[in-house]
């Protein structure tokens, strides 16, 4: 977790252009976060994040000066792919990366907010389901949605998260 705190995203500049290199450096520290969760259930999410980061980085590496910002990549690909855009190349990878980041944000916020299944307090099913429904479900077909529902039944609190969760709420109850 400390690794994530050391590599925060920069503030968005006034021109609202996101520099590609610092962005890729910051998001590259997110996939290992899923290792902390201790469940292979998160492997597809980790792989998806890693794959999307790799695709964007591959485009950036072809010409770092030309692709200094994410907007420059999007504009170049819009011209290059024509009617296939935005469902091609690094643009598509960036869209899926954004969805993955949203999943992480909703998941973590749900944990912080204390949302849980009172009948199964050691499960994070409620948190993962909420994140999936808000961030990813509308982009998946019926089959993937059913796979998620099956996998979701086995989400247990990883020991690290459970400890943080317990400490957080014990501190809240004493204040």
Parse the chain into domains and list their residue ranges. 17-174
Whether the per-residue pLDDT at 97 is higher than 80: the answer is yes
Q: Indicate if the alpha-carbon torsion angle 37, 155, 47, 82 is positive or negative.
A: negative
Write the pLDDT tens digit of every residue in 105-118: 999 999 889 888 88
Structure tokens at 118: 């009172």
User: What number does CATH give the domain 17-174?
Assistant: 1.10.3520.10
**In angstroms, how far is CA 22 from the centroid of its own chain?**
17
Which pLDDT tens digit goes with each residue over 65-89? 999 999 999 999 999 999 999 999 9
Mean pLDDT of the chain, nearest integer: 82
SS3 at position 19: strand
Report the 3 state secondary structure along 97-152. HHHHHHHHHHHHHHHHCCCCCCCCCCECHHHHHHHHHHHCHHHCCHHHHHHHHHHH
**Packing angle of the helix pair 43-62, 20-27 (nearest 10 deg):** 160
């Amino acid at each position: 977790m400390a690794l994530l705190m050391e590599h925060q995203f920069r503030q968005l500049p006034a021109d609202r252009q996101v520099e590609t290199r610092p962005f890729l450096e910051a998001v590259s520290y997110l996939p290992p976060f899923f290792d902390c969760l201790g469940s292979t259930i998160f492997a597809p999410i980790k792989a998806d994040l890693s794959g999307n980061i790799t695709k964007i980085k591959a485009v950036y590496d072809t010409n770092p000066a030309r692709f200094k910002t994410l907007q420059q990549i999007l504009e170049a690909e819009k011209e290059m792919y024509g009617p296939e855009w935005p469902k091609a190349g690094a643009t598509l990878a960036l869209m899926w990366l954004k969805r993955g980041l949203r999943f992480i944000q909703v998941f973590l916020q749900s944990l912080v907010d204390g949302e849980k299944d009172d009948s199964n307090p050691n499960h994070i099913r409620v948190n993962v389901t909420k994140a999936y429904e808000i961030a990813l479900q509308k982009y998946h077909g019926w089959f993937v949605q059913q796979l998620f529902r099956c996998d979701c039944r086995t989400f247990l609190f990883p020991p690290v998260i459970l400890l943080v969760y317990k400490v957080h709420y014990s501190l809240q109850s004493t204040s």
